[in-house]
Amino acid sequence: MKLLQSWLLLLKVIVVLGSLWILSLRSRSTASWDPIYIARYSWLEYRDADGGPEKVCNCSAILQGEREALEQAKLLTITKDFQNSIHIPDEYYINATQDCWKFKVSRKYFAVPLSKEEEEFPLAYSMVVHHKVQNFERLLRAIYAPQNIYCVHVDKKSEPSVFSAIQAITSCFPNVFMVSQTVSVVYAGWNRVQADLNCMADLYNASTKWKYFINLCGQDFPLKTNLEIVRMLHSLKGGNSLESEKLPEQKKWRVTNGHEIVDGRMQETGKTKEPPPFNLPIMSGNAYIVVNRGYIRSVLKDNRILTLMEWAKDTYSPDEILWATIQRMSGVPGSTRPNRKYDMTDINSIVRLVKWQLHEGSQDSPEAVYPECQGSHIRDICVYGAGDLQWMLAQHHLFANKFDTDSDPIAIYCLEKYLRQRALSQLHYVH
């Protein structure tokens, strides 16, 4: 009898404590952005105890550019055992996301907005990927905030395991979704634009709250915390930031000669194109942009832009002219005049930091735009190494490209660790 009474008493205590816990959760949810609440959760920090082969590196020393730490990191990245140990198969994500709560907790995704300032300034992301699920998931985790919204486009040509893994990851988040219509992306073809257009339409129709649109690919990574991004976008005062310059002579063939996709590659048709509609001056830029919601509305609904897009469909690399040209059209929210005084280079915009091999050089070179790549090169673009981080974090750009966990996982590991520590430290200064 006494044993039964003891069990009943214990059961009552458990019920009372459980009720108090639920009430405390409810009360916290009404002030979810309160930094005091969030700061209690030390598990949100990335720690060496979390495991992972990269933990042997001294990220603090790497970020400060200390030679010994950088040399150790470089030696590690070329070690075969280390390379084998860092690879995560696609199947891992399919299995790990069977329990979404456990996956999100173990991967330390933020469950609440970190500040009221961020909560009131949601962002919309388009993410176009075709392989390397590990890269994608680390990028998503680095930019994830529950008030933002994310559209993911997986190339139609991607391996089934890639599609399944990314679909499994997105299914764990109410604000992350797969694009409603996928396309098969061909380098320099119109369908690269179409992939972003499909996400733009889905994002625009999914929510009326987001303020700015940012498009990314799977090998991008942020250089700023979400709070820092929000504040930089606030400072634009409704403007856009993207590369937009006069089209150089050596690129004019791209818009004067017709092109089409043949056997998965862009080829000239032999036909000369008509001049652009409305006498529009065609500008030069790139595929990646930071633009306000009104710009996206214009892209989807402005008849002038719809006509321009039809004209651009048989140009070479239309993503490198379209957004830049729209940015100089009158009436587009956040646009600027086509006069050359308003030209903006990729270095001056805040969108994306890319090191082109042609523009690299020593500190003493007057022609060099940036220091030499400390990683490797793919198609004349630097795939960043750990040695690039110190320089990179001193720049004003929001994102950088390219990163690759297969080439240098330490660069991503130290960068994401730095960003997480910075995001959590900012909680004390957001009031």
* Mean pLDDT (whole number) for 118-134: 97
Residue 156, classed as helix, strand or coil, is coil
Q: What is the mean pLDDT of the chain?
A: 91
On whether residue 324 sits in a domain, the answer given is yes
- Number of structural domains (the chain) is 2
On whether residue 402 sits in a domain, the answer given is yes
Tens digits of residue pLDDT in 313-356: 999 999 999 999 999 999 999 999 999 999 999 999 999 999 99
For the sheet containing 123-129, what is the strand order? 176-178, 149-154, 123-129, 212-217, 290-292
Q: Residue 14 pLDDT more than 90? A: no
On whether residue 328 sits in a domain, the answer given is yes
Same-domain status, 256 and 338: yes
On whether residue 194 sits in a domain, the answer given is no
Task: Provide the pLDDT for residue 404.
Answer: 94
Tens digits of residue pLDDT in 377-417: 999 999 999 999 999 999 999 999 999 998 899 999 999 99
Task: Provide the pLDDT for residue 413.
Answer: 95
Q: Alpha-carbon distance 407 to 234, whole Å?
A: 35
Q: Residue 431 pLDDT more than 50? A: no
Q: Alpha-carbon distance 129 to 323, whole Å?
A: 20
- In this prediction, residue 49 has a pLDDT band, given cuts at 50, 70 and 90, of confident
Tens digits of residue pLDDT in 61-72: 999 999 999 999
- In this prediction, residue 22 has a pLDDT band, given cuts at 50, 70 and 90, of very low
Backbone phi and psi for residue 105, each to the nearest 5 degrees, phi listed first: -70, -45
Active site residues: 320
Same-domain status, 419 and 374: yes
Tens digits of residue pLDDT in 236-269: 999 999 999 999 999 999 999 999 999 999 999 9
On whether residue 95 sits in a domain, the answer given is no
Of the three residues 307, 342, 377, the one that is the final residue of a domain is: 342
Of the three residues 317, 342, 367, the one that is the final residue of a domain is: 342
Task: Provide the pLDDT for residue 21.
Answer: 42
Domain hosting 54: range is 37-86+350-431
Q: Alpha-carbon distance 40 to 427, whole Å?
A: 11
Task: Point out the least confidently predicted range of 75-84, 135-144, 203-212.
Answer: 75-84
Of the three residues 342, 363, 381, the one that is the final residue of a domain is: 342
Q: Residue 38 pLDDT more than 60? A: no
Nearest residue to 166 (alpha-carbon basis) of 181, 174, 176: 176
Q: Alpha-carbon distance 197 to 300, whole Å?
A: 8
On whether residue 94 sits in a domain, the answer given is no
Strand partners, 353: 400
Backbone phi and psi for residue 324, each to the nearest 5 degrees, phi listed first: -65, -35
Task: Provide the pLDDT for residue 363.
Answer: 83
On whether residue 202 sits in a domain, the answer given is no
Q: Residue 23 pLDDT more than 50? A: no
On whether residue 106 sits in a domain, the answer given is no
Same-domain status, 251 and 276: yes
Same-domain status, 318 and 388: no
Q: Alpha-carbon distance 286 to 352, whole Å?
A: 10
- 4 or 346, which is more confident: 346
Q: What is the 8-class DSSP label of residue 155?
A: -
